[in-house]
Structure 1
Amino acid sequence: MNQTETPLDTSRTVCQPEQTSYFEDIIYEEPTSRVHSRVTKKTEGEEVEDELRSISSNSTIGNNVQDTRGDMLGMDNDLEFPEGGLKAYTVVFGSFMGLIAAFGLLNTYGIIETYVSEHQLSDVPSSSVAWVFSIFGFISFLTSIISGTYFDRNGARRPLIIGGICTFVGMMCLGNCTEIWQLVLSFSILVGIGSGFTGPPCLGVVAQYFHKRRGFMCSIASTGGSVGGIVFPIMMRKLFEEVSYAWAIRIFAFILGFCYIVAIILMEERLPRKTAECGTWQNILSYITAFDLKGLKQLDFLFVCLACTFAECGVLIMGTYQASFARAHGYSLSTAYLLLSVTHIGGIPGRWISGYMSDVVGRFNIIIVTTICSSIVAVTTLIPFGDRKSALFVFSVLWGFMTGSVFPLLPVCCAQISKTEDFGRRYGTMYFIVAFGVLIAIPISGAIIGDGSEIGYRNMVIHSAVTIFGSGVLYLIAKCVRVRGKIFAKF
C-alpha cells in the first residue's frame, strides 16, 4: 500500500516538517486488497519465518488475537525497536528519575494543599484555595503541547533542563509564600511549567526504545511517580515537624533538582529528529499552531482525549483532597499523610501488573477495567465507611492499585493509535485538552466541599467516582470505534 505524503494543516501558515497522512490510510481507506509483510520471530531453536499475507483492509481492525496483533502493537509495525539492551534500560532509569520529580510532585501536592489550607490560607475558602492547584494542573498540562512538539524536533534534553530549572526556582519561592497570589505565581505557574515540560520527553524517549513491551516499560518508568508519592508525604511530615515549613519546601526543591539532573544525563532519544528550514517567527508560530486538529477528526483519538481528561480529573480530585478528607473526619495530619503514601504503595504493583497485562490482553482493555473498578472502590468504601480508619486504609490500597494503571497507560493508549515519531505532539495535544478539564474540575470539587463538612467531602468522593467511571466508558467507546464494535477484541 502506497501512502501519499501530505503536510499537516499548520504547514499552510507556518513552517512544519512534512508528515505522513496515516490516519486516512488506516481508517478511511477504501476496501481494496493490499499486501501485508510480516516477519515472525519464533522462540530460540526455531527458524525465522517470512510470511506474506494478502488481506483486506476491512479485516485489519478488530479480529481475534492473532489477526489483531498488528493493531494491538499500534501504528509502527514498519519500524524496528531495540526492545532491550544497556542503552534502553539506562533510558528507562533516567525516565524513572525524571518522573519521580514530575509525577511524584503531581501525586503528592495534596500535602501542600492540606498544610496551606490549615496555616497560610486558613481564612481563605476551600473553593478559592482549589484554584491554586487547578491552575497548577492547567499550566502543567497546557505546556505539554509545547514540550511534546519541541521533543519531536529537538530531543529530550532541553525540555528537561527548562523543566528542572522552573521546578527548582518555583519550589524555592514557594517556601516563602504566605498569600494566595504568591502561591499562584510560584507553585501554579513556575512549578506547573516545570512539570509540563518534563512528561512528554520522559515517556516519549521510552517509547522510542520499546514497542512490544512499551506498556510494561512505560509502567516501570512511571513507577517513579509512585515512589515519589510514597516517600514525599512521609518526608514532608517529618520535615514540617522538625524544621520550618520554608526549609521543608527548600529541601524538597533540592531533591527534585537532583532527580532532574540524573534524568538529563541519562536520557537520549533514538529516532532522528524532525527538522525544517524556517525563520525564527515562523518557528515560534508553529508551536502555537501545533494543536492537532487533524487528528481530532478521527473518532478514536477524539474519544481517547476525552477519556484521558476524565481519568486525570478523577484521579487528581481525589489526590488533592484525600488528606483533607481524613482531616475532616477527625484524623491527625500524620495519618492523613500516611494515607497518601499507602495509596502510592498500592500503586506500584498496580502499575507493574497492569503494564504487563496490557501487553498481554490489550492496553485499552486494561484501562477500561481499572477505571471502572476505581469508581466502584470509591463509592463502596468512602461513602458508607469514610469515618472508619480501617476503611480509609482499605480504600487507599485499592484506589492506589486500580488507578496505578492510569498514568502509565494514558500515554501508551495514545501511542497505540499514533506514529512513534508523532507521539510527543499527540501526547501534548491530548494534555492540552486535559488542561481545561482540570482547570474546571478541581474548583468544582472545592465548591462541592464548601465549608469542609463530612457531607461535603463525601459529595466530593461521588464527583471523583463519577468522573473516573466516565473515563472508562469513553475508553470503551474509543475501542469500539477502532475495532468496529468488537468489544472483546484484544486491543
Structure 2
Amino acid sequence: MNFLTKPAKVFTPKDHGEQRSQRDPGGSTAAIRDDISVKDGAGEAHTQDIELNSLEFDTDDSRIQSTGFAAQDTRQRAKEGSQPFEESTESRTQAFEPADEDYENAAPDDGAYRDENGRTYPDGGKAAWLVVFGCFMGLIPVFGIVNSLGAIESYVSKNQLAGVSQSTISWIFSLFLVISSLSCVFTGGYFDRNGAFRPLIVGILFYTGGLVALADCQEVYQFILAFSVLAGAGTGILMTPLVSVLATWFFRKRAIATSIATMGGSIGGIVIAPVLRKLYAEIGFKWAIRVFALICFVCLVVSLFLVKDYERQAVDPFKSRWEEAKWYVSSSFNWRYLLEGRFMAAAMGAALAESALTALATYVASYSLAVGNSESTSYNLIMVTNAAGMFGRYIPGYVADKYLGGFNVTIITISFAVLVNFVIWLPFGRHIEALWVYVVLYGFSTGSIFSLTPVCIGQISRTEDFGKRFSTVYFLEAIITIPVLPIGGALISDGSLRNYNRFIIFNSVIMGVGVACYAISRYLSVGLRMVKF
C-alpha cells in the first residue's frame, strides 16, 4: 500500500461472493473485499480475500480513481501454487481487470488496464513505447524551441532589432506563445474525433515553414508574421496530438510515459541553444535557422510515422458542413468545463505556472548578459537549465506514478521553483556561481510543469474528453500569456539589475498563485487527506 494512502475501513460482506463498499467518514475513500473460492489439491474450497484499498470515488461523475492496490492477482497465486481455481463471483470490478482476451491482446507485458467505461489501456508493450518514442522525437523541436526562446531573443535583440525597445521585442515572443496556445485549443476537438495524423501533417508544414521564413526576417512585423504566427501556429497544432495521444495508451503509467516523451523538450533545449550559438558564429543567422529547420523537420517526420492512436471510438458522421464547423468551434473551447470548480482551478494553475515559467526562461540569457557574463556563458545557462529539466521531468514523473500522484508532485515542484527564485536568483543572481546553482535547481523543479500538466488534467477528465479539456487549459494560458511577457519586458525596460529584480518578483508571484490554484483543485477533489492524487 502507498505510504501516503489513508487506510480505508473494510466492510466484510456476510454472504460469499458478494461485493460491497462503504465510504469512510471523509466520504471519498472506500475499500472493497471480494471473496474468491479457491480449490486446493484435495478439492476442498477455501475462501481468499482481496482488498482493494484506497479507491477514490468522484461523487460528481462516479469515476473511479485508483490510488494504490492492496490486492494481489489471485490467478497468479493459483498458478504459482499449481492449483486449479474458480471464481465464485460472476462479476468483477471492470475498472481494475479487463476481460482475459482483451487483457492478453492489449499488452504483451500483462499490464493492461480497463477503466470504468470499459476502455482498455495497454499501459505498456512494444507498440505503446514506440508511440512514446515518436512523441519524444516530435517534442524535441516543439518544446525545445519553447525552452530555447532565450537563444533567439538574445541574438535578435542585439543584432536585427538592436534599435528596438525591449518591451516591443517581447511582443514577438508573447504572440508566439499566445498563438501556439490558441492553435492548440482548436486542435483538441479535432484530435478527439479524428486522431493524430492530420494535425501532425498540418503542424509540420506550419512549423518548418515558419522557421524557414524566420531566417530572412529583419523587421519586427516580419518576425511576428513568420515566427509568432506561422511557427507559433505549427507549435500548438503539433503539441495537442503529441501530448494527448499518450492518454489513449497509458493509464496507471501515464505520468512516467508523459515525462519520458516530454524529455524531448529538454533534449531540444540542451541542443538548440549551443548549436544556434555555434552556427550564428560560423554561418550566420540565416543559415543557422535553416539548418535548425531541417533538423526539426527530420524529427517531426519520425514522429509522424510512429505516433498512432491506440483506440478511437466510433463517431457518427456530420449531416452537413455547417454542423461540422459548429461542432469543431464549440468543442475547441467548452465554457461549461470551467463551471466545474476543480477543473477551473487546475486549468488556472497550469496556465499561470506555464506562462510564468516561459517568461523567466525567455529572459535568463539576457539577464546573464546584463550582469556582465559572456555570451557563451549565457547560452550555456540555457543548456544547463534544460539538462536539469530532463531529470526534472523523469524523476517527478516516476514519483507521481509510484508514490504521490500528479497533483501532489506538481504542487511540490512548483513551490520549490518559487522558493529558489526568491532565495537564490533574486538576492544572489549577479554572482555567476549562484546563477549556476540556481539554473540547476530551477531547471529540475520546473521540468515537471509541462510534463505533469496533462497528467493532472487527465486525473479529473474522461479519456474521450481529454483533448477538448486540455485545449481549454491552453485557451486560458493564451489569455494569461498575452500580458505576461509584455509586462515583463516593460518591467525590465533599460535592462538594469533593479528592473530585472522586479521582473523576477512579478513572475514568481504568478507562479505562486498557480501553486495555490493547483492546491484548490486538489482540495476540491480529495479534501485535505494525505492520499496519492
Q: Distance in 1 between matches of 2:529 and 2:272?
A: 40
Match of 2:381 in 1: 339
Does the C-alpha gap of structure 1 residues 41 and 339 become closer, same or farther in structure 2, counting only changes over 3 Å?
same
Match of 1:225 in 2: 265
Q: Distance in 2 between matches of 1:126 and 1:43?
A: 65
Aligned ranges 1:7-406 → 2 under 5 Å: 26-28=58-60, 42=73, 45-47=76-78, 78-273=118-313, 274-290=315-331, 291-359=333-401, 360-406=403-449
Contact 2:491 2:499 in 1 (8 A): yes
After TM superposition, the score normalised by the length of structure 1 is 0.86
Contact 1:145 1:431 in 2 (8 A): yes
Contact 2:114 2:120 in 1 (8 A): no
In the TM superposition, residue 471 of structure 1 has moved relative to its aligned partner by 1.1
Q: Distance in 1 between matches of 2:410 and 2:278?
A: 35
Contact 2:114 2:121 in 1 (8 A): no
In the TM superposition, residue 447 of structure 1 has moved relative to its aligned partner by 0.7
Contact 1:479 1:487 in 2 (8 A): no
Q: Distance in 2 between matches of 1:307 and 1:207?
A: 21
Does the C-alpha gap of structure 1 residues 433 and 47 become closer, same or farther in structure 2, counting only changes over 3 Å?
farther
Contact 1:271 1:421 in 2 (8 A): no
Does the C-alpha gap of structure 1 residues 366 and 147 become closer, same or farther in structure 2, counting only changes over 3 Å?
same
Match of 2:461 in 1: 418
Q: Distance in 2 between matches of 1:361 and 1:454?
A: 39
Contact 2:345 2:521 in 1 (8 A): yes
Paired residue type of 2:322 = W
Paired residue type of 2:327 = S
In the TM superposition, residue 463 of structure 1 has moved relative to its aligned partner by 1.4
Q: Distance in 1 between matches of 2:452 and 2:72?
A: 26
In the TM superposition, residue 43 of structure 1 has moved relative to its aligned partner by 8.7
Paired residue type of 2:284 = S
Higher relative contact order (CA 8 A, sep 6+): 1
Determine which of 499, 517, 533 is the counterpart of 1:474.
517
Quick check: which has more Rg, 1 or 2? 2
Structure 1, residues 43-94: CA drift from partner, whole Å, max 9, x if none? 99425987868xxxxxxxxxxxxxxxxxxx9975742211111110110000
Identity over aligned pairs, percent: 39
Contact 2:171 2:486 in 1 (8 A): yes
Q: How many pairs align?
A: 440
Q: Distance in 2 between matches of 1:434 and 1:463?
A: 17
Contact 2:343 2:521 in 1 (8 A): yes
In the TM superposition, residue 285 of structure 1 has moved relative to its aligned partner by 2.4
- Give the unaligned 5+ runs of structure 1: 1-24, 31-37, 54-72
Q: Given the alignment of the two structures, is residue 430 of structure 1 paired with residue 473 of structure 2, yes or no?
A: yes
- Give the unaligned 5+ runs of structure 2: 1-56, 63-68, 80-86, 94-112
Q: Distance in 1 between matches of 2:162 and 2:116?
A: 52
Contact 2:406 2:452 in 1 (8 A): yes
Does the C-alpha gap of structure 1 residues 193 and 47 become closer, same or farther in structure 2, counting only changes over 3 Å?
farther
Paired residue type of 1:289 = S
TM-align CA RMSD: 2.1
Q: Distance in 1 between matches of 2:298 and 2:218?
A: 26
Contact 2:263 2:393 in 1 (8 A): yes
Q: Distance in 1 between matches of 2:317 and 2:341?
A: 30
In the TM superposition, residue 123 of structure 1 has moved relative to its aligned partner by 1.0
In the TM superposition, residue 42 of structure 1 has moved relative to its aligned partner by 2.8
In the TM superposition, residue 276 of structure 1 has moved relative to its aligned partner by 3.0
Does the C-alpha gap of structure 1 residues 139 and 100 become closer, same or farther in structure 2, counting only changes over 3 Å?
same
Contact 2:184 2:471 in 1 (8 A): yes
Q: Distance in 2 between matches of 1:419 and 1:29?
A: 10
In the TM superposition, residue 271 of structure 1 has moved relative to its aligned partner by 1.7
Contact 1:153 1:275 in 2 (8 A): no
Q: Distance in 2 between matches of 1:356 and 1:197?
A: 28
Paired residue type of 1:425 = K
Paired residue type of 1:181 = Y
